[in-house]
Amino acid sequence: MSLNQAKRDEISSILQQTASTRRATVPTLEEILYQPISVLDHGFIRVIDYMGDDTAIVQAARVSYGKGTKQIQQDKGLINYLMRHRHTTPFEMCEIKYHIKLPIFVARQWIRHRTANVNEYSARYSILGKEYYIPRAEDLSVQSTTNRQGRGSAMSSEESAKVLDLLRKDAELVYEHYEDMLNQDQEGNILDPNRSGLTRELARMNLTLNYYTEWYWKIDLHNLLHFTSLRGDPHAQYEIRAYVNILLDTIKKWVPFAYDAFIEYRLEGAHISRTGRLILKRLLHGEKVTQLTSGLSQREWKEFITLFDLHYLENSAS
């Protein structure tokens, strides 16, 4: 992770300021406010601002004033009920704003979730810094043969070394050409006073997708939880899951009751189809069930037996 001196000075100045308020604050989240949390090699996440806490969720559900007279366990129980029965509106009453630095290819996945307010660093206005993502050798894998958008087995050390070398060479070369087309370096200094540089909006187009961008990302809690459930799934790309792990940690600090309910009923819970529920009933009654008699496709059957650790059924005869 890298922050320039001006940004570090800005954060230091902000951290020295205090303000009194009547709105809800969360001490555990206040402790990390504005502080960059490292992700990947040059990325980070910073919590910039937030609105609401667990109490705000309860208030919205009860349409009550203040904290009222309800006990903590009753509040926790209500949040569990809301999460369990998918009553999502009360969770929308909490919002949080992040400053995130991430590789462009991760940003392009991220932005598909159209439920947040986003303002991204403009490479039309400013020169993009020379920071690009290089994976760790252990994170390089071959293409999966069963999932067109997934990773398969790990690459050999020789193949990994070749890939990493190509990534570095390409990233260095395109940035050299980027500066040459701009006729400026990353600090904005003119390289050759005798010629004009290409406009920034065009010069940026040759940069590789592993270069870093930044944005401010503001989202309500309901949509944030939905985002983390999808991008935190084991089948999601490793690089975006690295960011989700940090997001989850900030959610835990911010709304611990909602976080616990989310882990219990969503992230580590399971959704089962009508046919799957009927299969479970048949198995509990001692009936022999195979993929051919289950009513599920081969893929659904594999997912079902993996979900409930019923691998002994894989070799059941039809």
Using CA atoms, how far apart are residues 270 and 287, in angstroms rounded to an integer?
23
Residue 298 CB: number of other CB atoms within 10 A? 9
23 and 83, same structural domain?
Answer: yes
233 and 116, same structural domain?
Answer: yes
pLDDT at 116: 95
Tokens encoding 164: 């990493």
Helices (H), the chain: 5-15, 27-30, 54-62, 72-84, 104-110, 157-182, 200-203, 221-231, 238-254, 256-262, 274-284, 291-294, 298-307
Residue 260, domain member (yes or no): yes
Residue 189, domain member (yes or no): yes
142 and 122, same structural domain?
Answer: no
Which residue type occupies 286?
G
287 and 257, same structural domain?
Answer: no
What's the structural domain count of the chain? 3
Given the residues 231, 241, 266, 277, select the one marked as catalytic: 231
Tokens encoding 175: 């940035």
pLDDT at 177: 96
39 and 26, same structural domain?
Answer: yes
Residue 132, domain member (yes or no): no
Nearest to residue 262, comparing CAs of 242, 244, 239? 244
114 and 56, same structural domain?
Answer: yes
Which residue type occupies 29?
L
Using CA atoms, how far apart are residues 68 and 147, in angstroms rounded to an integer?
51
Is residue 69 helix, strand or coil? Answer: coil
296 and 181, same structural domain?
Answer: no
Whether 231 sits among the annotated catalytic residues: the reply is yes
- The pTM of the full predicted model, rounded to 2 decimals, is 0.88
pLDDT at 147: 60
- In sequence order, the 6+-apart residues with CB closer than 8 A to the CB of 214 are 99, 100, 101, 102, 120, 121
225 and 107, same structural domain?
Answer: yes
Q: How far is CA 96 from CA 21, 116, 205, 220, in A?
A: 17, 10, 32, 6
Domain residues for 146? Answer: 137-206
Q: What is the pLDDT along the chain (318 residues), one digit of tens a residue?
A: 567 777 777 777 777 777 778 788 999 999 999 999 999 999 999 999 999 999 999 999 988 655 555 677 788 999 999 999 999 999 999 999 999 999 999 999 999 999 999 999 998 889 999 999 999 998 888 766 556 566 667 888 889 999 999 999 999 999 999 999 999 998 889 999 999 999 999 999 999 999 999 999 999 999 999 999 999 998 899 999 999 999 999 999 999 999 999 999 999 998 899 999 999 999 999 999 999 999 999 999 999 999 999 888 876 554
Using CA atoms, how far apart are residues 296 and 310, in angstroms rounded to an integer?
15
Residue 318, domain member (yes or no): no
Using CA atoms, how far apart are residues 155 and 137, in angstroms rounded to an integer?
8
Q: Which of 235, 250, 267 is the last residue of a domain?
A: 267
Phi, psi of 45 (to 5 degrees): -130, 135
Residue 47, domain member (yes or no): yes
Q: Which of 154, 189, 206 is the last residue of a domain?
A: 206
Dihedral, CA of residue 299, residue 302, residue 304 and residue 310, to nearest 10: 170
237 and 102, same structural domain?
Answer: yes
pLDDT at 42: 95
pLDDT at 318: 46
231 and 100, same structural domain?
Answer: yes
Using CA atoms, how far apart are residues 218 and 97, in angstroms rounded to an integer?
4
pLDDT at 64: 63
96 and 242, same structural domain?
Answer: yes
86 and 60, same structural domain?
Answer: yes
Q: What is the CATH number of the domain that holds 70?
A: 3.30.1360.170
